[in-house]
Amino acid sequence: MYNNQIICVVIPALNEEASIGKVIDAIPAFVDHIIVVNDGSSDRTEAIARSKGAIVVTHAVNKGLGIAFKSGVQRVLELGGDVMVNMDADGQFNPQDIEKLILPIVQQQADFVTASRFKNPELYPQMSSVKFWGNQRMSQLISRIVGKRFYDVSCGFRAYSYETLLRLNLFGKFTYTQETFIDLAYKGLTIEEVPVVVRGTREFGKSRMASNLFKYAYNTSKIILKTLRDYNPFPLFLQTALVAAVFGLAFATFLGYHYLQTGEFSPHKWAGFVAAGFFIAAMFLFGMGFVMDMFTRMRRNQEELLYYLKKAQYDHNKR
């Protein structure tokens, strides 16, 4: 235990036999439970993890990092954990930094703590300029959505309090990193970034998450848009409606100018139909914003009920 807190470390893993053993061996002795989520590995990842004394949760097939993370959360709650740390299995993070992440939670200064590769410019990891640029843009996007500046929203080295795990409600299968920020920020939980030294490249193999940056950007963008739609839909639909209205106004202005010049709508009557289509779309999107906002209010009530149900289910594990 660490300050009478049960500490659990969750490590999602997919074919990480070359590094999983070293990662587990380096985890500090004060950690009570090491949980490896074997997400459909075809190598010796599971066997090595078990030989090192880790609790292994196995998916028969690969379900994605987001699902693996949720499986880890569920196991921590079943074990009565007070603090959960999740980290990657590739050896890029230093397990000795676990204490830096859990300290603000144990001291009740934060609900969710994430390691930050970019908060301190002196600790920037070595990585390609494309990956660095992508991380910066993603952090700026999430910061704008939640209204608070964050420097690293994609790092897979984080710590969560028990209450945070109960309130966390994620849906993404591909990943969980950006969705977590939006989910917890909208719920008013305290988020803190702790600068750490992170190796910028893997010692073994290639990253399965970021090996194809276009695929990564596409999948994470889908998760972000769906989360934004669910938590704060009205601004999203309003902005889209305004874009449609601007296009409609542009075509209407073009047709009006032509009429003033010639006294006729021909041969540009099409512009009037296009303008009408955009105006109708704008009104539809504006109305959808109101409807989705109503569903968001219902969702908040449902999530509050879900929180109390999970609390009733898992609190007895902590007695």
Give the 3-state secondary structure of the chain: CECCECEEEEEEECCCCCCHHHHHHHCCCCCCEEEEEEECCCCCHHHHHHHCCCEEEEECCCCCHHHHHHHHHHHHHHHCCCEEEECCCCCCCCHHHHHHHHHHHHCCCCCEEEEECCCCHHHCCCCCHHHHHHHHHHHHHHHHHHCCCCCCCCCCCEEEEHHHHHHCCCCCCCCCHHHHHHHHHHCCCCEEEEECCCCCCCCCCCCCCCCCHHHHHHHHHHHHHHHHHHHCHHHHHHHHHHHHHHHHHHHHHHHHHHHHHHCCCCCCHHHHHHHHHHHHHHHHHHHHHHHHHHHHHHHHHHHHHHHHHHHHHHHHHHC
Domain spans of the chain, in order of start = 7-231, 233-314
Higher pLDDT, 228 or 169: 169
pTM of the model: 0.79
Over residues 237-254, the pLDDT tens digits come to 898 999 999 999 999 999
Q: What pLDDT does residue 213 have? A: 63
Over residues 263-316, the pLDDT tens digits come to 889 999 999 999 999 999 999 999 998 888 888 888 888 888 999 999 999 998
For 7-231, CATH number out of 3.90.550.10, 3.40.50.300, 2.60.40.10, 1.20.1250.20 equals: 3.90.550.10
Over residues 27-81, the pLDDT tens digits come to 999 999 999 999 999 999 999 999 999 999 999 999 999 999 999 999 999 999 9
